Amino acid sequence: MKGWCVVLLLMAGVATVYLKRYEIVEALSLRPSPPTPSPLADAAAGRVTPLLRAELGALGLKVGDPVFIRIFKESGELELWLHPASGDAWTFYKTYPLCAVSSEPGPKNGSESSAPEGFYYATSRQLISKSGSLAIDLGFPNVYDRQHKFRGRQARIEGGCAPQGSYAAGDAAIDEIVTLVRAALGHGQPFFRIHCFPFRMTDARMNQELAARAKWLEFWANLKEGYDYFEILHRPPNTKVRNGNYVFE
């Protein structure tokens, strides 16, 4: 545990470049805009909305509540959280097992097969409906990715089981996810956050990575700050990029 604390202190001292562009500040400036018409998404909503209403109603939630997504690459899991109209805390709705995940833990960095890790957000403009498939564009590369020269092709949450640099959730899951996202955006949520982690970033797991001298330890230490923020406060943080690191508030 002491070793891990030392790493965090060292990370706090790494500051060389001040970035004036912020991911979430940019998104907050956007006005809510409903998704564009999509016969494919409408058909999916018609299939899954009755079940969603029943499941969400049992949790005190409804279709149209704000959404938040967390992804864990190693275990192949996508968590969906919603925020009820009354109350401050986000409510866990469901874990979707990913059908396929691109690459081992680590950022998307040049390899066409790797999926990104980091803090992303999506607006209605990033909902994709074409070629008979639904998908959500993660917005890769974000400001942090560009600063650190993480490169690669577009990354998505998509249906099917062929990730190709994305997170493949399967067709049934993407129908539910996109339906809830579209409903949230249509009811006034201007954007939704998507947090992508290599694994569940517990202290015990991070100490294992520290002992193994993992290649991406500094990067993961920064991701863990955002992971811990939500674990402690049960509220996804506003995420900025400053001095070459993610910062959270």
pTM for this one?
Answer: 0.86
Distance between CA atoms of 97 and 75, rounded to whole angstroms? Answer: 8
Domain 23-201 = CATH 2.40.440.10: yes
> At which residue do the structure tokens 């899951």 appear?
173
Locate 60 and state its tokens. 């005190």
In the chain, domain spans: 23-201
User: pLDDT (tens digit, 0 to 9) for every residue of the chain, 249 residues total?
Assistant: 555 544 444 443 332 222 223 344 444 445 666 777 899 999 999 999 999 999 999 999 999 999 999 999 999 999 999 999 887 789 999 999 999 887 778 898 876 678 999 999 999 999 998 778 899 999 999 999 999 999 888 899 999 988 777 899 999 999 999 999 999 999 999 999 999 999 999 999 999 999 999 899 999 999 999 999 999 999 999 999 999 999 999
Locate 127 and state its tokens. 């909902």
Integer angstrom CA distances of residue 95 from 14, 39, 46, 79, 115: 35, 26, 22, 4, 19
